Amino acid sequence: MTDFELTVLIKDLSTTFFKQPFKHEATFNSRLRTTGGRYLLSNHNIEINPKMLTEHGQDVLIGVIKHELCHYHLHLSNKGYQHRHQDFKQLLAAVGGSRFAPVSPKVIKKKKAIHYQCSNCGQDYQRQRKINLSRYVCSKCRGQLILLKN
């Protein structure tokens, strides 16, 4: 799908579900990583993550477009367009847009666990970051910590 086809799809969805025209441009933005799309307040354009179409399909793409169109139409009509506003929540529920974009399988990263143990009492410590073993000691017995595994 090209940017022109995306704009045509958004214009069609806007007139179908919102009964108002979409008068600006829509583009795919491959730099979007953790979001499905965004509505730009400065120029009223909409950017969509292309992975919403390639990884998740047409239905998810339409849900994300409806979400961004809620921001668009509410902002232009001077109503509450932010996620926390009641106007936004009601309009999103009325048109059936998605509240959250699905997470890409590539974005999900396993957090590494670094395992430490006290040499004196055997107390276990799980950390996500390395700690300086010459500076930190066991919180129970003040014994020396040993790195077991990364």
The set of catalytic residues is 68
Contact yes or no for 69/84 (Cβ under 8 A): no
Separation in Å, CA 121 to CA 11, 57, 87: 67, 54, 57
Contact yes or no for 66/98 (Cβ under 8 A): yes
Separation in Å, CA 66 to CA 49, 134, 147: 14, 55, 50
